[in-house]
Amino acid sequence: MNTLNETKIIVPAGHPESVARAIFALEEGIFTKIICGASNTNAGHVERLALVYALSGVHVIDVAPSQQIIQSAKAGIKKASELYEKNPEAFSHYKEPVLMISIDSGDDMHFRKAEINYEKCTNCFECIDSCPAGALTANCHCEKEQSSDEAIHQPFSNSWIAASYPSGTPRNDSNKLILNSNNCVGCGRCSEACLQNAIEFTNFNNSQSPVIARRAESPTWQSEEIKAVEIHTGNNSIEEVKNFLELNVSLLKNMELLSFCVESKRFNPAELQNYASSLINLVSQKVIIQIDGMPMGATDKPCSSLQAVSAAAILLENKLDAYIQLSGGTNHFTKKLVKQLGLKISGIAYGTFARKIILSYLDELEENFNAQLLRIVNITTSLVDN
């Protein structure tokens, strides 16, 4: 197979301190990345995620390929730096992270948003608790015989207040399911929970979003001096990934960190090994292979990251010349599991779980958020350092 070595996709000789720190962490097996969500377009959430996880000392913060979202992440990192300068003892874990963007080489589930078909929706609200991003809520007025009660269901609550919704009650703007599309990361859990097949997804590819296009025009983030990119391979063949790289080589050639996200469940062990090896051969620099075990599927269970860990073990056994990094199902049990198995991975990325453990704080008023910042950072640091 031809490679892109002749296009000089290589790591530049001089690294900024943040990149050098990330590469050192990859070499030492202590690399940590936080994934804000490839389709997370809630700018306020992204800014706060970048702020608290920068204060927790992560090496990379991965965001959607949108200029607004990139600016929000930068604002969060800048605030973290300012807080550290003012109070280095309180925020002693802070190190400037590398900002990475996720891009789609085609047909990857991370680049989609949910849509509700209200003609099918019966307001059973089974989907609400399934959403790890807080994208689904419902404010409904429950009209019963001889009484009325207002029921408000919030994400992750254990029960309803005035919990019945009588069938046949007309739906209107005050009693229907509400989707905050900016919060949606396209994980699909709501669709799995829906009993009426009322939730569908709209994919957005690179030609529709301000990302790398299939080279009609330069992406809007090009002016943002991005030096780290993750390419989501989705259901693409190696030839399709190769074509994507060739079309976008002018933008990728100066990337100091290059990662390929591979959904491991697509392959049997031999296929996974061959696919990862072929990706590595497409470029001349040492890349990160992000093994996506359960895409956007993290829970708080010890078994949550088993798929990712098992896939990583396959690649490590074959001693690929790449950084093997876990994602997809990773949580606070993952590091312990890796240590118990004696796997020499390069690092771990946390996405769904990293967002979920502080989700209740992300929409707080600024004054309340700032008042609780030390507590929030203690939570996030416990995940990064556990």
User: What's residue 140's pLDDT?
Assistant: 59
pLDDT at residue number 358:
95
At residue 312, does pLDDT exceed 70? yes
Q: How many CA atoms lie within 13 A of 127 on its CB side?
A: 31
Structure tokens at 367: 């004054």
> Among the listed ranges 58-72, 112-126, 207-221, which one has the minimum average pLDDT value?
207-221
Same domain, 331 and 223: yes
pLDDT averaged over every residue in the chain: 84
Instruction: Examine residue 119 and state whether it is found in any structural domain, yes or no.
Output: yes
Q: What is the pLDDT of residue 177?
A: 87
- Domain tally for the chain? 2
* Residue 292 belongs to a domain: yes
127 and 173 in a single domain? The answer is yes
CATH code of residue 78: 3.20.20.70
Nearest to 226 by CA among 54, 96, 100, 72: 100
On the question of pLDDT at 301 being above 70, the answer is yes
Per the model's pLDDT, the better-predicted residue between 145 and 65 turns out to be: 65
- From 144, 173, 203, give the residue that closes a domain: 203
Domain identity same for 344 and 244: yes
- Residue 92, Ramachandran bin (φ over 0: left; ψ between -120 and 50: alpha; else beta): alpha
73 and 94 fall within a common domain: yes
Query: Looking at the structure, do residues 263 and 275 belong to the same domain, yes or no?
Result: yes
Query: Does one domain contain both 250 and 313?
Result: yes
How confident is the model at residue 222, as a pLDDT?
A: 58
Give residue 249's pLDDT.
Answer: 85
Asked if residue 50 belongs to a domain, the reply is: yes
Quick: pLDDT tens for 172-202. Answer: 556 788 899 898 988 888 999 998 999 998 8
- pLDDT given at position 147: 35
CATH number, residue 124: 3.30.70
Asked if residue 253 is part of any domain, the answer here is yes
Choose one of 203, 238, 264: the last residue of a domain: 203
Q: How far apart are CA 264 and CA 15, in angstroms?
A: 31
> Do 329 and 236 share a structural domain?
yes
Backbone angles phi, psi at 28, to 5 degrees: -90, -10
Q: Model confidence over 60-71: pLDDT tens digits?
A: 999 999 999 999
Maximum mean pLDDT: which of 4-18, 147-161, 180-194, 277-291: 277-291
Q: How much is the pLDDT for 314? A: 95
pLDDT digits (tens, 9 = 90+) for 338-374: 999 999 999 999 999 999 999 999 999 999 999 999 9
Can you say how many angstroms the Cα of residue 294 is from the centroid of all Cα atoms in its chain? Answer: 12
User: Domain of 361?
Assistant: 15-111+210-385
pLDDT at 262: 95
* Residue-level pLDDT at 15: 72
Domain termination residue (choose one: 152, 185, 203): 203
Average pLDDT over residues 140-166: 35
Both 245 and 355 in one domain: the answer is yes
For residues 221 and 197, state if they share a domain. Answer: no
Dihedrals φ, ψ of 336, to 5°? -60, -45
Confidence of residue 309 (pLDDT cuts 50, 70, 90): very high
- 10 part of a folded domain: no
- In the chain, the percentage of residues whose pLDDT exceeds 70 is 82
Does 6 score more than 70 pLDDT? no
Q: Answer whether residue 1 is part of any domain.
A: no
| 381, 237: one domain | yes
DSSP string, 108-163: -TTSEEEEE-TTT-----TTTTT-TTS-EEEEEEEEETTEEEEEEE-TT-SS-SS-
In a domain, 3, yes or no: no
Is 6 among the domain residues?
no
